Structure 1
Amino acid sequence: MERTTNIISISKIEEIPTLETIKSIPRERTLKLVFENEIKSKRKTIGENLKKELNGFLVAVHTFEPEINIAKLITDEEIEDNKLFFEQCAKDYRDLAEELIFKLADKLGIIINQDYPMMTFNELKSDKKQMGKIENWKYFVHGFHCGFENNKTAQIIEAPLVFGLEFGDLDPYFFTRYIKSTPKYNPLPIAIFEDYADGIRINEKMLSLGKFERISSNVGNHYGIVVTDRQKVEIKSFEEISKIHEQQNIKFEESKFNFWKFIGLKK
């Protein structure tokens, strides 16, 4: 489903649509406010006020252009009406991510570190196997994930690597892109327009409904979201993994793998 955009030129405050008017805009339509003349200087202040008042909307103040773009996000009611669909998507995501990760490990002849898979897959970078192909899939190890894209269907999925052998973490952006790219889900029962912002709302509502739950990760101060109805696996904390490495006479923060260095940050 494609969106249409209403463009309104604003030369004075009075020309800004009322909150009631903006709230009445359906999700299939976006609003672009283009600021002219001396009112351009007030664009950022107006945008910040709109963000405070428009709960459930994405309000984007353009960095360079004199415009504000407004879009209504997926609603709680829409998510609740489709909770079984999103729950099944989450289960399918988990199954496929796990399947692809183990197929990749098998093809490359590597043994996944069950406590901390990231340590195993980081080794691919030094071996120039960070990207490649497996069956009909392209793969690419990056950040905390290994991304896969199907050459035939264009389906995409990101398998997380920092939750032990739990590969069902639902990053809001990756989860919605997976849903939209999966052929068997199309046409979708409910439109998803804003991959990240709609994804956040889906996750938060599904958490409140008890369909999703939060989990800790192998990385300090980092958590994930997974479907509640699943066979749970143990996820060791950063402290537990560090202790294991100490017992093996390996100083974790200086071991061959350092995830902060891997993603370009110093720690």
Structure 2
Amino acid sequence: MGVSNYCKTFEKLNSIEKIILGVVIKFDSKANELINILGTEFNLDLSKEHPFSKLITCQNDLWKGSLPDNWIYQFHGSHCRFENKINNQILDIKINGGINYGIFNSSTLLWFIETTKEWKDVYKKIKVNEILTECLTTLEQENYIIDIGEFGYKSLIINNI
């Protein structure tokens, strides 16, 4: 889905907010793609409540490893960190959010932007976390993204409604 046709009120956003929305869409797409690769690689039923339980146990060495296309993964707490060995792109994905793996917060999104070569100019503009936080607040107020977090912890996702 292209950024320009994502929402009816797209013109309400300023240029950096539009860029950040595009980054959020890319994050969501890449996160779900990597989780599906992981699921296929280990024959996981991603529709189950805890599909990663056999990978995150300390009794085996599956909590970290390699995937096709030069990706490595490592489970930590309620997240899985993916890193591309060629371009060093990093996605840190929350794995306990049901079937949506595009959950992010300002820190994980900033890390994704910082490690994605095509967004070096974006990173220079928003490397101060407050700028990204302001953009995310606007995107949330305009209902492009929603917070599904609990206990005051931001867990943001694209609003697909």
**Interval of TM-score (by shorter of Structure 1 and Structure 2):** 0.7 to 0.9
**Matched position secondary structure for 2:136:** helix
Contact 1:118 1:162 in 2 (8 A): no
Q: TM-score, normalised by structure 1?
A: 0.49
Contact 2:74 2:82 in 1 (8 A): yes
The more displaced of 126-135 and 203-212 is 203-212
**Matched position secondary structure for 1:173:** helix
Structure 2 vs 1, CA of residues 194 and 121 (structure 1 numbering), >3 Å: closer, same or farther?
Answer: farther
**Higher gyration radius (CA):** 1
Structure 2 vs 1, CA of residues 204 and 141 (structure 1 numbering), >3 Å: closer, same or farther?
Answer: same
Q: Higher relative contact order by CA 8 Å / sep ≥ 6: 1 or 2?
A: 2
Alignment correspondent of 1:87: 21
Alignment correspondent of 1:203: 136
1:224 aligned onto 2:155? yes
Which structure is higher in strand share? 1
Aligned-partner residue type, residue 185 of structure 1 = W
| Structure 1 unpaired stretches of 5+ | 1-78, 233-267
RMSD of the alignment, in Å?
A: 2.5
Match of 1:158 among 92, 111, 115: 92
Q: TM-score, normalised by structure 2?
A: 0.77
| Residue identity (%) | 17
> Residues 199-255 of structure 1, C-alpha deviation per residue, up to 9 Å, x if partnerless?
433322221232211125xxx646621122x3x6xxxxxxxxxxxxxxxxxxxxxxx
Distance in 2, matches of 1:86 and 1:114, equals 31
Contact 2:55 2:62 in 1 (8 A): no
Aligned length: 147
Distance in 1, matches of 2:115 and 2:62, equals 25
Listed as ranges, the matches of 1:131-210 within 5 Å are 131-135=64-68, 136-188=70-122, 191-195=125-129, 197-210=130-143
Distance in 1, matches of 2:154 and 2:121, equals 31
CA drift of 1:131 comes to: 0.9
**Matched position secondary structure for 2:148:** strand
